[in-house]
């Protein structure tokens, strides 16, 4: 029954099936948008495996990062396909109409929900939406019908890729088979923070003469949420490949991981002790190198906080989807909103620009689908401009998505190292 149902579906059965709608183009601040209808399919491995009532699939949740809202009372769910007799075929589907940038790329996954865990879906109270989502995440699956999967390195990230115009990743972003880069690991015990974690260091090497003219002194690039970029989505091989192709200069990359979710929310939320520990306990070996901070979400907030409070040391920042709403709780309510801590901090500065801020250089990135993030960026950049802080702001066609951040790390660093501010540091 299942195979015959598949045969009756479109010959294009290759999830997702993308269809442009003839509704014209809309020009917005984040680019040219068009209307699309996207159809998703999910297929059970075998109905025989799910004979027991507890394992019977009751619904299939679809999460498109930056598009669907997993905090909503009703999650985005696929519907079962039935045959002419009304029997389930083991196939689930859903068509969604979306207005997106023409070059939008993102990732998605499915969560098949069986009767055994179906009660999790009843957590519709706003206070429980995060707990509901965390309970469902262990069951997520990639789209077996889509061969575009985000699996960089030996650790497979459980996300599938969707691209509206089928653009390809840059060659240095493709998963590499020959290991060219080696991470050095060491235990960092912090007396200041009273904790320990393993940090990692990568030193990329120049193999092209084109790179040397841009980089007389190797920069130190600090990546927060380091476990994401060393274990979940390893960057090392691709950073070396980008260096070999003269897209990035030779550099030292320091990956600082989180110990747990709890310590992350403590250390990456404008915590002076965290940066005191980094400065006093980690950076003594890199005293002569210019430092670039790279962070996403809370780590983006933390990077900007460090730059504002220690501008001489942390001059350069690549901030991605920074949580500039912190510490507000209702940050998704963008109308008549309060401002986050860093916006308030800049607003309280004297009318005369702070001289120590004027040599800062930031690259601020966020996605076209991150409306709440964008709303909190607006007052922040307005205050930064009054302080004569040098910044560039880019809106990428995506959302709050590690796949997007992964690509934008390379694009952001490339832009930073091409800037006149950076070149000036190399000429001094």
* Class level of CATH domain 2-163: mainly beta
Residues 6+ away with beta carbon under 8 Å from 385:
391
Q: Where are the domains of the chain?
A: 2-163, 171-427
List Cα–Cα distances, 334 to 194, 372, 373, in angstroms: 38, 6, 9
Burial of 224 (0-12, 13-18, 19+ CB in 10 A): buried
Positions of the chain with pLDDT under 70 = 1-14, 29-30, 46-54, 123-127, 151-157, 166-169, 174-179, 207-215, 330-337, 428
DSSP summary character for residue 123: -
User: CA 224 to CA 360: how far, in whole Å?
Assistant: 19
pLDDT at residue 176, rounded to an integer: 60
State the Rg of the chain over Cα. Answer: 23
d(CA 371, CA 399): 9
pLDDT digit string (tens) for 32-81?
888 899 999 998 876 555 555 567 899 999 999 888 988 888 899 999 99
Q: Residue 37: what are its φ and ψ, rounded to 5°? A: -115, 125
Look at residue 2 in the predicted model and tell me its pLDDT.
39
Q: What is the pTM of this model?
A: 0.86
Q: Are strands 291-296 and 220-223 parallel, antiparallel or unpaired?
A: parallel
Q: pLDDT tens digit string along 161-187?
A: 888 876 666 777 765 655 578 899 999
What pLDDT is stored for residue 1 in this prediction?
35
Q: Give the pLDDT confidence score for residue 27 in this predicted structure.
A: 76
171-427: CATH number: 3.40.50.1820
Cα-Cα end-to-end distance for the chain? 72
pLDDT at residue number 115: 86
């Amino acid at each position: 029954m299942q195979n015959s149902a598949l045969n009756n579906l479109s010959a294009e059965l290759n999830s997702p099936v993308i269809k442009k709608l003839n509704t014209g183009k809309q020009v917005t601040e984040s680019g040219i948008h068009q209307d699309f209808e996207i159809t998703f399919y999910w297929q059970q491995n075998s109905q025989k495996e799910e004979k027991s009532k507890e394992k019977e699939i009751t619904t299939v949740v679809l999460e498109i990062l930056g598009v669907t809202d997993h905090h909503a009372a009703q999650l985005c769910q696929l519907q079962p396909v039935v045959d002419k007799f009304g029997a389930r075929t083991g196939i689930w589907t859903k068509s969604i109409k979306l207005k997106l940038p023409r070059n939008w790329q993102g990732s998605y996954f499915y969560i098949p929900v069986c009767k055994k865990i179906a009660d999790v879906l009843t957590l519709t109270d706003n206070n429980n939406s995060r707990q509901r989502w965390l309970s469902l995440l262990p069951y997520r699956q990639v789209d077996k019908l889509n061969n575009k999967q985000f699996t960089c390195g030996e650790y497979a990230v459980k996300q599938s890729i969707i691209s509206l115009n089928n653009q390809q990743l840059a060659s240095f972003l493709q998963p590499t088979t020959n290991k060219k880069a080696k991470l050095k690991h060491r235990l960092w015990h912090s007396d200041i923070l009273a904790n320990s974690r393993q940090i990692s260091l990568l030193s990329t090497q120049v193999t092209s003469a084109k790179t040397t003219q841009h980089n007389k002194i190797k920069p130190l690039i600090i990546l927060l949420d380091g476990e994401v970029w060393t274990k979940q989505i390893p960057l090392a091989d691709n950073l070396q490949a980008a260096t070999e192709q003269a897209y990035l200069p030779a550099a030292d990359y320091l990956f600082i991981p989180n110990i747990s979710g709890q310590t992350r929310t403590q250390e990456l939320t404008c915590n002076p002790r965290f940066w005191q520990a980094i400065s006093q306990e980690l950076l003594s070996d890199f005293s002569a190198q210019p430092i670039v901070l790279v962070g996403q979400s809370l780590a983006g907030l933390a990077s900007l906080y460090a730059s504002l409070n220690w501008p001489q040391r942390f001059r350069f920042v690549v901030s991605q989807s920074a949580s500039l709403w912190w510490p507000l709780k209702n940050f998704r309510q963008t109308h008549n909103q309060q401002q986050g801590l860093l916006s308030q901090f800049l607003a309280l500065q004297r009318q005369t620009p702070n001289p120590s801020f004027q040599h800062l250089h930031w690259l601020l990135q966020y996605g076209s689908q991150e409306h709440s993030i964008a709303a909190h960026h607006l007052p922040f950049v307005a205050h930064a401009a009054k302080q004569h802080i040098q910044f560039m702001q880019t809106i990428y066609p995506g959302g709050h998505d590690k796949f997007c951040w992964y690509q934008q790390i390379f694009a952001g660093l490339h832009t930073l190292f091409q800037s006149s501010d950076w070149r000036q540091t190399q000429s001094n």
